[in-house]
Amino acid sequence: MKNYKKLLMISIMSSMFVLSCSNGGSSVNASTDTTSETGGNDGSAVNVKSKILMELFTSTTCGPCLPQNTKLNEYLDPTSSVYAEDLADDWIILRYHVWWPASGDPYYDFNPSPVINREDYYDVGYVPHMYTQGWTDSGSTAATWRTHARATVDNVTPFNVQITGTRDGYNISGNVTVTSAGDVNNLGFRLYLTVTHDNSQYQAPNGQTVFDQTFINFLTFDNSSGSVSYGEPLNLGAGETYTKSYDWTLDSNWPNNSNVSWSTEDLTLVAFVQFDNSGPNEKKIFQVEALSFD
C-alpha cells in the first residue's frame, strides 16, 4: 500500500447522478440499553464501562481495503466462524471514505468537508488505516484491529452516554445525554455526534459490494476558537448531565449516485466523548455509544 497523501482537495468533487434510492419507510422509536454487565452504565454519576470506538479510513477505490473490510465484517457477523463474540456488544465502528487513491467514491463525494477535517486531525496518510479510541494507531490489517479492540475492552470511564430517538422516514430526532463522574470543566473534552449507514449496496471499483458503518455526517459543530471542529465543547461538574438535542433529515438522494441502493431503516447514531487537548491523553476517546434505528 502506497502512502497517498492529500493533494488538491477541492478538485475531488465530481458530479454524480441525482436520483432517489430509497423511500422514507415507517417511523420507529429507539433508545440505548440502560443496563451494563459491569454494573453502572445506567446514567448515574459513577465510573462505568467504556465501549470501544474504532475509526477506519477507507475507500471504494482502494484495492487493499477490500480484504480488510471483509475480514472486519466477519468479526462483526454472528454467523461467521471468526465472529468476535467477546467484543460484539461493545465494538463500535465508524468508516470514513476518503478521496484517494482515486476519485469517485460516492460516499466521500457526498460530504467531503468533515472527512477532510477528520483525516487531517489524525494525519491518516494511507488506507485502510484504523484508529482505536482516538489515540492508538491500529494500522492497516483487520487482525491488528481485533487485537487492539480486545486490549481495550472492559476499560472504565467517568462518562456515561445514553441516546434516545425516533426515526420518521428520513428524519431522526431525539436526545443524547452525557453524565460525568468528575469535574471536567475546561479540560478540553468534546462531544461528537455522527450519523452512519449500514448495508448499502454498491459495485465498487475495488470489488466491494456491501458497505456498513458508513459515515454520513456530524450533527455537532464548533468554530468558536477560529478553527473548525466537529465536536462541541463538553464542560461538566461532578455528577452533572448535559443533554444534546438533535433533529436531522437525511437527503433522500444520498449519496447522489444511482448505483447505490439503501434503506432509511439502516441509519445509526454514534455519540462519543474525545479529549481534544495535549498531554498523555491527547485525542483519547473516553466513551462511545450507538443507537440503531432499524
Which residue ranges make up each domain of the chain? 49-292
User: Among 26-40, 160-174, 195-209, 225-239, which is the least confidently predicted range?
Assistant: 26-40
Nearest to 166 by CA among 15, 25, 39, 275: 25
Position 180 confidence tier, pLDDT thresholds 50, 70, 90: very high
CATH topology of domain 49-292: Immunoglobulin-like (2.60.40)
Position 24 confidence tier, pLDDT thresholds 50, 70, 90: low
Whether pLDDT at 206 is above 50 = yes
Whether pLDDT at 23 is above 50 = no
Backbone angles phi, psi at 148, to 5 degrees: -70, -35
pLDDT of residue 33: 63
pLDDT of residue 14: 30
Contacts of 236 (CB under 8 A, 6+ apart): 178, 179, 180, 183, 184, 185, 242
Nearest to 1 by CA among 115, 99, 128: 128
197 and 281 in contact (C-beta within 8 Å)? no
Separation CA 270–CA 288 (nearest Å): 7
Cβ count within 10 A of residue 6: 14
pLDDT of residue 44: 56
Q: What is the pTM of this model?
A: 0.88
User: Among 35-44, 132-141, 202-211, 238-247, which is the least confidently predicted range?
Assistant: 35-44
Separation CA 274–CA 233 (nearest Å): 10
Separation CA 218–CA 270 (nearest Å): 9
Separation CA 205–CA 18 (nearest Å): 20
